[in-house]
Amino acid sequence: MSVTTHRSVHDQLAERLVEARARTLELIRPLTSDDIRIQHDPLMSPIVWDLGHIAHFEELWLTRNLDGEIKFVEMPGLFNPMEHPRNERATLALPSLAQILRLMADIRGKVLERLPKVDLAGGNPLLRHGFVYHMVLQHEYQHNETILQALQLKQGEPYRPVERRPLPEPSGAYGGMVRVDGGQVPVGTNDRSAAYDNERPQHLETIRPYRIDRVPVSNADYMEFIEAGGYSRREFWSQAGWRWLLDSGVSAPKYWFRQDGEWWTRVMDATQLVAGNKPVCHVCYHEAEAYARWVGKRLPTETEWETAATWNPTTRVKSRFPWGNAPPTPDRANLDQLAFDTAPLGAFPDNISPLGCYGMIGDVWEWTSSDFRGYPGFRAFPYPEYSEEFFGLEYKVLRGGSWATRPGAVRGTFRNWDYPIRRQIFSGFRCAADA
């Protein structure tokens, strides 16, 4: 007779908290104290600041705010991102790595000791279904990706990962576009266990018929844009994009360089020829928009992107991921950081949506044409500084996650956002067109 053991929600949360911290510590293990303390680029925090922020965010939400009364929405002091923008964090009197690690361990010990006694089934929306624990988990996952952005920019010796997962070979060639019929489609989610406030509420939007690329734009495709003079032809660039181009003086994606007639790139500790069959990465919104104009297309709206990734027009059912509702695994998508690179297009044949789009989760964040705004009926929870304060025209929405994204920090409704000039993020794109 077999015995099935059902782990409690408390046990599952404890296991995830332990696993998340183990990954954070694994990412920084190859680094020296100097590597962790210096600011590798003005766009990024010193890594010790990220670690301190992870610790204090956890202490804020899983100890001080755990009884239902939200006393602070951001921790006061050195690790408040609203008080201290990234470009000044290197000037702060930051603790040593040893002090930060002791602090992280101390806070985590208190959190795990208290967790079994927390009521996760009551009426407190912060606690119900473990929401606040999932929020803290995702916060640490997201800072893992931020740390990897800093390590890609690392000064001195390149970052060498402790472990590197091999990537599969492509199993087929995918190209062209798929047609998506117009009509009413559900957007967002009503999930209150893990989804952020900006993903809610689920609502209906009406879309016109459109076409969208089956796969993200490849390096080979983007090379053609460069060779065709894409960075010097004004007609492909918006006014803001052209101004950025003139100011920045760039002529290729970030980390690309030309040598002996070939395009090369650097990915962490690996300097390699640019692989034509991988998605282009480290391009900003303006570059993506210019490329789309060059090929006679445009960038998709985030509603078009989410529909192509999650909507089944036959069953009229929306799924959490392109392949269904099962969580991501290493054979489904290039997530979870350990590959430390993008995968060849078609390397994950199960990563296909019902509409026939490949790779909409993992590899590269995909720019959309949408400004970051709240959905109809949006309500900030549990604090407006996470989403609401960023709504407006300054930021563009990205979807889908990247190789540097942890599986617990992405889903078909997840909305990332950044300035349209940002290139240090692991960002690419796919194109759309009116049908």
pLDDT for res 3: 36
pLDDT for res 4: 38
Closest-CA residue to 53 (of 139, 155, 177) = 139
Cα–Cα distance for residue pair 36/309, rounded to 1 Å: 37
Q: For the whole prediction, is pTM greater than 0.75?
A: yes
What value, to the nearest 5°, has the Cα angle with vertex 315 and ends 310 and 321? Answer: 20
pLDDT for res 76: 67
pLDDT for res 64: 85
Closest-CA residue to 336 (of 367, 360, 362, 358) = 362
Strands 427-428 and 365-371 turn out to be parallel
What pLDDT digit, counting tens, does each position of 352-371 carry? Answer: 999 999 999 999 999 999 99
Helices (H), 42-162: 47-59, 97-114, 131-152
pLDDT for res 1: 33
Strands 203-207 and 432-434 turn out to be unpaired
What pLDDT digit, counting tens, does each position of 190-233 carry? Answer: 999 999 999 999 999 999 999 999 999 999 999 999 999 999 99
Can you read off the two tokens belonging to residue 192? 């209150």
User: Is the C-alpha dihedral spanning 171, 174, 179, 180 positive or negative?
Assistant: positive
Q: Are the CB atoms for 22 and 29 separated by under 8 Å?
A: no
Laid out side by side, the sheet with 210-213 consists of 177-180, 210-213, 432-434
The size of the chain, in residues, is: 435
Can you read off the two tokens belonging to residue 106? 């101390």
Other beta carbons within 10 Å of 278: 23
Identify whether 279 is preceded by a cis peptide bond (ω within 30 of 0).
Answer: no
The domains found in the chain, sorted by start residue, are 9-152 (1.20.120), 167-435 (3.90.1580.10)
What residue ranges of the chain have pLDDT lower than 50? 1-5
380 class by beta-carbon count within 10 Å (0-12 exposed, 13-18 middle, 19+ buried): middle
